[in-house]
Amino acid sequence: MTTECLLRMYDEHFELEDYQSGVPRWCTGCGDNAILAAVQRLCRDEDLRPEKTVFVSGIGCSSRFPHYMKTYGFHGIHGRALPVAEGIKMARPDLNVFVNTGDGDCCSIGAAHWIHAVRYNMNMTVMLHDNQIYGLTKMQASPTSPRGLKSNTTPRGAYLEGLQPLSVTLGVQNVSFVAQAVDWIPEVLYDIIRAAYHHKGLSFVRIIQRCPEWLPKLYEPFMQDPQKILLLNHERGIKVSPGLAKVYTNQEQHDPSNIHRAREIASVLDPIPVGILFHDPDVPVYEDLRNAGQIRSTRRLKTGLEAEFDKFTVWPQDSDQRTQSGA
């Protein structure tokens, strides 16, 4: 074996530290910390090459995510994480693309992009950090805030029922993967993110994320009573370990290929369904459709671009002719 080969083998195995960057500024007990830990573990276990991996986010506490990953990252503008990620995937389909977006970022200002991203079904893993509040800007109601929630923008309580991100996603054409996790069951959170990463297409994972700063009591009942979690258990979904199965006995054998049942489960708020609601590995991926039959070499792209520019170029002989004809 050549030295080069040995070096390559050594290089291709990564440790957790290879993905850790800086000390997160999130509050103590913030669910974003658990999501970060699960994602760093996934990168290590899958040996994702840091230079081939990119995390894209919008604006919000959760959108600070790329700063804490020692990979490529793009901390974008509010609501625009998905189109940025799509642009990256289009230009570099070889990269592992992850998106971290908040409930304000994705479901409020970014809602139009969310719907179209699901329809385009590009190969990326989208994590919706849903704390049901605008955390960074200090407690305004978001579209997913529950009815009656008091916040700085809804001092008498939110008038509307919260928008259900799972139901919305499951209603979009070409949806291919929808799952739900909670930040306080790390084993299942990890398994779900891992399954999402392995899906080819847009995998949408809504993660119920605690914000102890602004809504410290919101999920207390769900954390204290395991019966208030409905574990979706299936050979085509996630398999629950025996230890966890003893604690979370409220379970349903749900086949993720059944979209009708997935839609019913998506509307259940109590108990919280946790697992893979829907998975269809056969939905076409946009970048494959778009690139089919095309050899997108740099030379070919350059030739194509030059031909387009040439159509609008004014050549010296053209202007001479115009001068002679008095034009």
Ligand X SMILES: Cc1ncc(C[n+]2csc(CCOP(=O)(O)OP(=O)(O)O)c2C)c(N)n1
Least Cα distance to 263 among 278, 279, 280 occurs for 278
The Cα–Cα gap between 117 and 210 comes to: 26
Query: Would you say 29 or 171 has its CB closer to ligand SF4?
Result: 29
**Does residue 211 touch ligand SF4 according to CB under 6 A?**
yes
Shortest distance, position 311 Cβ to ligand X, whole Å: 37
Q: Residue 98, by phi and psi: left (phi above 0), alpha (psi -120 to 50) or beta?
A: beta
Neighbours of 112 (CB within 10 A): 11
> Within a 13 Å sphere around the CA of 208, how many CA atoms are in the beta-carbon half?
24
**Does residue 142 touch ligand X according to CB under 6 A?**
yes
Query: Would you say 213 or 252 has its CB closer to ligand X?
Result: 213
Shortest distance, position 62 Cβ to ligand X, whole Å: 3
The Cα–Cα gap between 69 and 55 comes to: 8
Shortest distance, position 66 Cβ to ligand X, whole Å: 13
Residues 53-72 that bind ligand X (CB under 6 A): 59-62
What would the x/- binding string for Mg ion be over residues 88 to 127, using CB under 5 A?
--------------xx------------------------
**Does residue 218 touch ligand SF4 according to CB under 6 A?**
no
Shortest distance, position 60 Cβ to Mg ion, whole Å: 6
| Residue 128, strand partner residues | 101, 206
Structure tokens at 36: 């970060």
How many chain residues touch ligand X (CB under 6 A)?
18
Least Cα distance to 114 among 130, 126, 132 occurs for 126
CB-CB contact of 211 with 30 (8 Å): yes
Structure tokens at 265: 């489960």
**Does residue 131 touch ligand SF4 according to CB under 6 A?**
yes
**Does residue 191 touch Mg ion according to CB under 5 A?**
no
Kindly list the residues in this chain that would bind ligand SF4 in the complex (CB under 6 A). Answer: 26-27, 30, 32, 61, 131, 135, 211-214
Kindly list the residues in this chain that would bind ligand X in the complex (CB under 6 A). Answer: 59-62, 78, 102-105, 109, 129, 131, 133-137, 142
